[in-house]
Structure formats: C-alpha cells, structure tokens
Amino acid sequence: MLQRRPIFPNVIEMNFQARERIGCCVYLVYDGPEWMLIDIGFEETVEEIVELIRQMDFPLSQCKLIVATHADVDHVQGLAKLKQILRAPVAAHPRAAEILASGDPIATYAHIPAQDIFMDMPSVKVDQTIDEGDTLTVGNLSLEVWFTPGHTDNQLSFRMGELLFSGDNIYRDGCVGVIDAHHGSSIEDFLSSLRRIRQSDVKWLLPSHGPPFRKDDALLDATIARLEEYLYRADFGTCAKDWPLLDQWDQELAEGKLPE
C-alpha cells in the first residue's frame, strides 16, 4: 500500500502524491472509503493516476463523482477513459456538458491551428449538470458549487470549509487563466469571480495549475487591478471593453493635430 500524502485533511493532490508534475492539478477528496475527483488531465496520464489511487487503497468502486472544473483539454481529455475505467458519473457545468458531449476541439483548446496544435478530444456524456448553489457530497463532506466564469464561460469552483478549489481563476504568482475571445473568455466576468474570491473568508486556494497557496488579499488586489486595466487595452482584442486611444485619435483627426 502506498502511503497517502494529503495536502489538507481529506484532500490529496495527485501531482504532490506522485512527487512529480504529471499534468493539471487533480484533487481526490475523500471521507472513509468514498471519494471523488476534481479534474483528471490528459488521457495519457489516466492509467498512472488510477494506479496511484489503487495503491493508496481507495476502492475504485467507491468513486462517487468525477467533476470537471471546466471543459479545457488539459483538464478533461482523459474524462472518457476514466469514466470507462471507474464507471463513475461525470459532473460539469451545463455549458461544459454541451462541449464535452460533442468533443468540440475548438472550444476545448484541443485544436489551435495557428500554433499547429491538434490534440484528440474524446467526447464524453456528462451525467450530472451542476451550477451555482449546488452542493456535492462525499461521505460526510460537502462542497459548495460556485460559478466562476471569466477564463471560460463554464468554469466552476468548489468550496469546502476554509478551502476553495479555485480552478483557473488565479495562481500563486498572481497569473490567471488564459483570456481569449475564441475561448469564451470575459474580462468583466473574470473580475467578478476574482472579487468574489477576494471578498470571501476562505483561507486556502487550491488552483488547477501550480501549488495550493494561502489566500493573499494583496495578491488578489494586484491581479484585479491588472485585469481592470485590460478592460481598456487592445492587448486582448474583443475581450476589452473599450480602447480609449481610438477616441483620442478621433479627436486629433478632427483637430488636424500633427505628430509631436
């Protein structure tokens, strides 16, 4: 039997358990013999993760739920394979459910032709759609579902006591998940999600990439301020709310102002 290495009571993160980076953060939440998974990562690592779970003496038949934080290929490519192995139900936001059912390669970022990225995205049926205000249970544990869009329009976070499984909202270095109009990103929604996290009384953030970290209000404030600037910059194209430079240029054109 492999010794369990929980990062918090009732929470094992599979990269930490393996002592090497094998993909996005995959959280195993357990109480007694019952357990659930938050995300799974790429298809090629599914068997390794299942074997780790088996070696930690978790009964595979006691997996109550496989949850997708959102429908990005680096989080969900392995869902179909894992579901076949565990015979456990899959849960996701309703918008993610549509994407996963079709295996949409564009919405999942599996295909990015401009960068010559072409990955398989096996389709998978979502058995349970979940949204803001729902509660997930495993044993005697309860996880409150938060709808936290911005990175995508289908991202969920999960609160369990003082812990927040925070998806791709923010990482320990203050970075956030990719902002891309083709991906369904919204800077304004992102800001709302970050402000909600900032205003909450959770103590720890467990992101989908990188290490868990203590909630740092100063870090969140700096990230929120940066994204507020993005609303008025051309850097993120149509995700920006406005580009003040064009209004300035209109005025200069009307005045016939020459370069200075």
- With 90 as the cut, is the pLDDT of residue 184 above it? no
Using CA atoms in the order 196, 201, 207, 213, what is the torsion angle rounded to 10 degrees? 140
Is 3 domain-assigned?
no
Is 181 domain-assigned?
yes
Which domain CATH number covers 88? 3.60.15.10
Is 66 domain-assigned?
yes
Is 188 domain-assigned?
yes
Percent of the chain with pLDDT over 70: 100
Is 49 domain-assigned?
yes
For residue 28, give its domain range. 11-109+117-254
First to last CA, the chain: 73
**3-state secondary structure (DSSP) of residue 40:** coil
Please report where in the chains the tokens 């739920």 appear, as a residue.
65
* Contact present, 142 and 106 (Cβ < 8 Å): no
Is 2 domain-assigned?
no
Residues 102-131 pLDDT 10s: 999 999 999 999 899 999 999 999 999 999
Is 5 domain-assigned?
no
Angle at alpha carbon of residue 189, lines to 187 and 191, rounded to 5°: 70
Is 148 domain-assigned?
yes
Residue 71 burial (CB < 10 Å; 0-12/13-18/19+)? Answer: buried
pTM of the model: 0.96
Q: How many domains does the chain have?
A: 1
* Amino acid 79: pLDDT: 98
* Amino acid 81: pLDDT: 98
